[in-house]
Amino acid sequence: MIKKEVTKLLNEQINKELFSAYLYLEFVNYLTEKGLMGYAHWYRVQAQEERDHAMLIYDFLHYHGAKVELDAIDKPVLKADSVMDVLKEGLKHEQFVTASINNIYDLAKQNKDFLTQRFLDWFINEQGEEEANANELILKNEMFGGDARSLYLLDQELMARTYAPPSVQIG
């Protein structure tokens, strides 16, 4: 049985993951307006990942008989003057999500909720990957973003990103 305190944080995490999807769709809006369709595609895929993360937690709670409580999702606000601002905001947000997942894991550990810890192992690994990808995007943009030809090639590279839904055991 998942502890009530852990359930509360998992419900809050569903909201954070759905907000992440909204935020990344706001990034898509900005990048599309700039004509960077590869960057926009990259964040559209990112938004889908975040929605699927929320659904994994949602399914995990239901599967284990815990109550799912959905809350309102805040409207994302993006204050960006450049593509780099967007990318840095993406990394900052991923670090926020990582801290939140780590907090849930810590509470599950304190409550000897081994089931939730095992479930969150995947998310911890995923967040490491998310932060590394966001950082790599910043580094590539620093190297190539100032040159129009290189930016074009990077944008084309980002257009090739594909997505496969996660395969995580919830039970």
CATH of 4-159, one of 3.40.50.800, 1.20.1260.10, 3.40.50.300, 3.30.70.20: 1.20.1260.10
Token code pair at residue 155: 């944008």
Q: What is the pLDDT of residue 84?
A: 96
Q: What is the pLDDT of residue 91?
A: 98
Q: Cβ–Cβ contacts within 10 Å for residue 63, how many?
A: 12
Q: What is the pLDDT of residue 1?
A: 82
Q: Tell me if the pTM is above 0.75.
A: yes
- Rounded to the nearest 5 percent, the helix, strand and coil shares of the chain are 75, 0, 25
Q: What is the pLDDT of residue 7?
A: 97
The answer for residues whose C-beta is within 8 angstroms of residue 37's C-beta and 6 or more apart is 31, 155, 159
Stretches where the chain sits below pLDDT 50 are none
Q: What is the rounded CA–CA span in Å between residue 80 and residue 26? A: 11
- Give the 3-state secondary structure of residue 82: coil
Q: What is the pLDDT of residue 169?
A: 76
Q: What is the pLDDT of residue 161?
A: 93
Q: What is the pLDDT of residue 144?
A: 87
Token code pair at residue 37: 């369709």
Q: What is the pLDDT of residue 38?
A: 97
Ordered by start, the domain boundaries in the chain are 4-159
Contact 22, 76 (CB under 8 A): yes
Nearest-5° Cα angle at 118, 113 to 120: 95
